[in-house]
Structure 1
Amino acid sequence: MATKILKSKKPPPSSSSSSSHLAMIELKQRILTSLSKLSDRDTHQIAAEDLENIIKSLTPEGTTMLLNSLYDATGDTHKPAVKKEAIRLLCFFCATHIGTHHLGKIIAHIVKRVRDSDSGVKDACREAIGELSSLYLKGEGVESVVVVFLKPLFEALNDQSKGVQAAAAMCMARMVQMASQPPPISAFHKLCTRICKYLSNPNFLAKAALLQLVSSLSQVGAISPQGLEPLLQSIHECLTNSDWATRKAAADALSALALHSTNLITGPTITALEACRFDKIKPARDSIVEALQQWQNLAGGTEDKKPPGQA
């Protein structure tokens, strides 16, 4: 008599796993529906609020799905309004679910959009980097997190487009400005050497924007004494740049240094400013004259200024 071989049957999926799978499908549909409504002015606000509510009640299982949907929404195929809101919502996610697990990928996707042709999207990137800086950059011991910010931004600085270079430099300046008090000074100190290399590079086109980063570093006290002299030399060279916006930004950076730095050797800078104080472009000339006055005032309390009556 033949023996029947009974095939084992797979146990039916549990009701809990089925309901979880259905919940993920519903969540995905809800996210995509809200994202599609962002492009319509009449439904934009309601859709944004719904996405915020999704983020607030998000479970670990739904996190990857949501983030991937927001990453996709920052892509070139979407309207600027959608891209800007997706960037803002990435920051909202970080503010709601504090942690660095997803931070690197989020920053990388935000920085990608500095290449966007829409200036509003680039502005959204700058503000997003500032907001994330205020959340994650505070005090010492965050050097590894600073690197997470800077790695994609320096890659963007190496782009051949002046617009992309400028947007990346402005993001860096915003990162420094918005770092929580006290800012990670020692991590910021390392920026000076790299800034000098870019300012001295004839192929780097966005010197005016990068000089605004120098001003920001100066304002938070993040320029080391060792990095100050080569940085001043690079700024002096920018005072004679053919681009008037670069000359103006160089003077503005020198004004910031005069206000926020100590133990400055004033002579060479005063000489450099005096040599170009008759700049033909009024905005540049005004900034140069203002910087010259500040450095001359500074010289009054240093050894660079000779006592009255001395030849």
Structure 2
Amino acid sequence: MGVSTQLAGNLKTRVNICLNKLSDRDTLLMATNELEGIARALPAEDFVPFLNCISTTDSSEKSPVRRQCVRILSILSDAHGDALSPHVSRMISAVLRRLRDPDSAIRAACVDAVSSIATHVTQTPFSVIIKPLVDALFQEQDSNAQMGVALCVSAAVDAAAEVDASELRRLLPRVLKLIKKDCFKAKPSLLVLIGSIVSTCCVKNRSLLSSLVSTAVEFLSSEDWAARKAAAEVLEKAAATADRDMAAESKGSCVAALESRRFDKVKVVRETMNQALQTWRGVPDVLEEVTSPKGSSSSSSGYSPVLLSRSCSADRGSVTPRVTSMKSPVSSCSSTGSSQKSILRSYQDKKPCTLKPNMTESRKNLRSRVVPFDYPDVGCGDSLHDKLGNGTELEDLSLIRNQLLEIENQQSTLLDILQKFIGSSQEGMNSLEKRVEGLEKVVDEMSQDLATPSTWKYIYYDA
């Protein structure tokens, strides 16, 4: 016992000497290297006294001392890994004590320390790391501490190999409520945390996704450019990770909001807005998907083709898609023929819809896919004409099918033209941005030249 106490005392003396040297600029580099060497070669029995030494520093110490005491936690995690599992709570407590520091470099060191702990100490449950940070997130009133703890939680979520999705799913609604409160000042940092939670694919509820999207859209018009950038990143992650059907419901509002804010005055925000806009444009629209009934197959026993018909409105001049399901019973050949004849009679009673060349509005409003019409095997030795009737009915069906194919080709042509127009517009905006940047550089150079006294010229005139 006496030997271990002596060794602990020697370790404490060495660490305190290094900390004192950190206060002097001349010995800063040497003390940093020595302290890092001690941390990397530290035996397991000396973890507790070493952590006590670096945790006792307070705000009266100089900034290099405070920063190095936090940075050494990252080096410990990297060097010893899972051996530090029993001491994770002590290390997180040391980080929390430094989050109120006004020096942004020290808060950045705290974020790096939490990220290193979550990355290398994998045997510790995720809740042990994140729970004290989450508690501090909802209790801190200091703006610096709010900013630091939000970024620390985000770093833990991003760095952890395995996260507790159920815990994050319960945390997200609380964070969405917290960001709307005036007492929480660090809005951009909390938006970064929301983006990290969304990236874990834990948003499985429609109402939760709707609340998330509405909150992010609201912060797109914030006066703080960091909040606008973080909100755009949240929307981009939501489009990439949310379920396709749920994302399609929010596509219209997100695209409209990003379109109105894509020309932000800050370049990095503009780039983020455009990336989020492209991601949301890639989300398929609900109206563009026509799926066949479940369990349908091409076999004669379970064949259930889908007929896509269209009805025209004379006063509006629009084309409305309608899906008609045709099921052929398999009990007997006579029942098959009668069902097909009844369907064909219903098509014969309806007049086919023809599109005139000047119906551009109806083509723009077209949102459907053409499903080819195929007949199942008739069987029982009867010909197709015997089952379908006279040739007039076949001609009507052929005419309808040709018209639908023509409509689909016209729609594809319009989409190609629209894509070309969007591409050329994007290229034009990029060219305009480059020209504006060039003009800004020229104006800066001119202002610098005018501010230099050596460039002034004095002209004297003879009397």
TM-score, normalised to structure 2, is 0.54
Deviations for 1:83-121, whole angstroms, at most 9, x for unmatched residues? 222112223334426243221121122122121111111
Q: Name the SS of the counterpart of 1:100 in structure 2.
A: helix
2:105 counterpart (105, 112, 120): 120
**Counterparts of 1:45 and 1:278, CA distance in 2:** 46
1:221 aligns with 2:206: no
**Counterparts of 1:42 and 1:281, CA distance in 2:** 41
Task: Map residues 178-193 of structure 1 onto 2, 5 A cutoff.
Answer: 178-180=159-161, 182-193=162-173
1:211 aligns with 2:196: no
Q: Where does residue 150 of structure 2 map in the other structure?
A: 169
Q: Which structure is larger by alpha-carbon Rg, 1 or 2?
A: 2
**Counterparts of 1:188 and 1:99, CA distance in 2:** 25
Deviations for 1:239-295, whole angstroms, at most 9, x for unmatched residues? 233434323321222122223333112123224334545656665455434433331
Task: Map residues 91-170 of structure 1 onto 2, 5 A cutoff.
Answer: 91-95=74-78, 96=80, 98-136=83-121, 142-145=125-128, 148-156=129-137, 158-170=139-151
Which residue identity does 2:95 align to in structure 1?
A: I
Q: Where does residue 10 of structure 1 map in the other structure?
A: none
Alpha carbons 2:229, 2:272 under 8 Å: kept: yes
1:198 aligns with 2:183: no
Task: Map residues 73-84 of structure 1 onto 2, 5 A cutoff.
Answer: 73=57, 75-84=58-67
Which residue identity does 1:103 align to in structure 2?
A: V
**Counterparts of 2:279 and 2:6, CA distance in 1:** 67
Alpha carbons 2:204, 2:243 under 8 Å: kept: no
Q: Offset at 1:188?
A: 2.9
Q: Name the SS of the counterpart of 1:40 in structure 2.
A: coil
2:252 counterpart (256, 267, 282): 267
Alpha carbons 1:157, 1:169 under 8 Å: kept: no
Alpha carbons 2:255, 2:280 under 8 Å: kept: yes
**Counterparts of 2:220 and 2:287, CA distance in 1:** 21
**Counterparts of 1:309 and 1:163, CA distance in 2:** 52
Report how many aligned residue pairs link the two structures: 286
Unaligned runs of 5+ in 1: 1-16
Q: Where does residue 446 of structure 2 map in the other structure?
A: none
Q: Describe the shift of the 1:22–1:201 C-alpha distance in structure 2 as closer, same or farther (beyond 3 A).
A: closer
The two structures, once aligned, show a CA RMSD in angstroms of: 3.0
Which of structures 1 and 2 has the larger relative contact order (alpha carbons within 8 angstroms, sep 6+)?
1
**Counterparts of 2:6 and 2:267, CA distance in 1:** 65
What is the percentage of aligned positions where both structures have the same residue?
A: 28
Q: Describe the shift of the 1:21–1:202 C-alpha distance in structure 2 as closer, same or farther (beyond 3 A).
A: closer
Q: Where does residue 390 of structure 2 map in the other structure?
A: none
Q: Describe the shift of the 1:32–1:194 C-alpha distance in structure 2 as closer, same or farther (beyond 3 A).
A: same
Mean CA deviation greater in 286-295 or 261-270: 286-295
Q: Where does residue 365 of structure 2 map in the other structure?
A: 310
Alpha carbons 1:70, 1:90 under 8 Å: kept: no
Q: Offset at 1:189?
A: 2.7
TM-score, normalised to structure 1, is 0.78
